[in-house]
A = this chain, B = another copy of it.
Amino acid sequence: MKMIQAIIRPEKLDDVKRALEEKGFIALTVIDVKGRGEQKGITLQYRGKKMEVDLLPKVKIEIVVKDGEAETAIGTIRASARTGRIGDGKIFILPVEMMARVRTDEVWT
């Protein structure tokens, strides 16, 4: 299985959630994070001086999916989270060795 970690704009969360839902990805976990990308956040001009606002609020979505579904999930997130402007975010895929349900004794590997 794979864990997809997507760091997106907070205001895009609803769109992404809805898009994932339509593709059948219901279960997910959401975490409030702060982050900066390679361009070091946003640079504001202030009375001649520059000021960098480097840690901007972002939202991290984590979904664990079967190996074969990762592609679709990533495509869905990308399409729904994209605005085309800097700060749209990143997606990482991490290997997951096992998933277990707490309520029952089910296990997926």
Contact in complex: A97, B34 (CB < 8 Å): no
Counted per complex, copies of this chain come to: 3
Interface residues in A65-109 (C-beta closer than 8 Å to B) = 74, 77-78, 81-103, 105
**Number of chain A residues whose Cβ lies closer than 8 Å to a Cβ of chain B:** 54
What are the residues of chain B within 8 A of A90 when measuring CB–CB? 27, 64, 99-102
Q: Among B39, B64, B78, point to the contact of A102 (Cβ < 8 A).
A: B78
- Taking the closest CB of chain B, its distance from the CB of A48, in whole angstroms, is 23
Judge whether A53 is part of the interface by a CB distance below 8 angstroms: no
What are the residues of chain B within 8 A of A93 when measuring CB–CB? 96-99
Return 26 A-B CB contacts under 8 Å, by A number. Answer: A2-B97, A6-B102, A7-B29, A8-B102, A27-B36, A28-B35, A28-B36, A29-B35, A29-B60, A30-B55, A31-B33, A31-B60, A64-B90, A64-B92, A74-B100, A81-B102, A84-B103, A86-B103, A88-B103, A89-B101, A90-B99, A90-B100, A91-B101, A92-B100, A93-B99, A95-B97
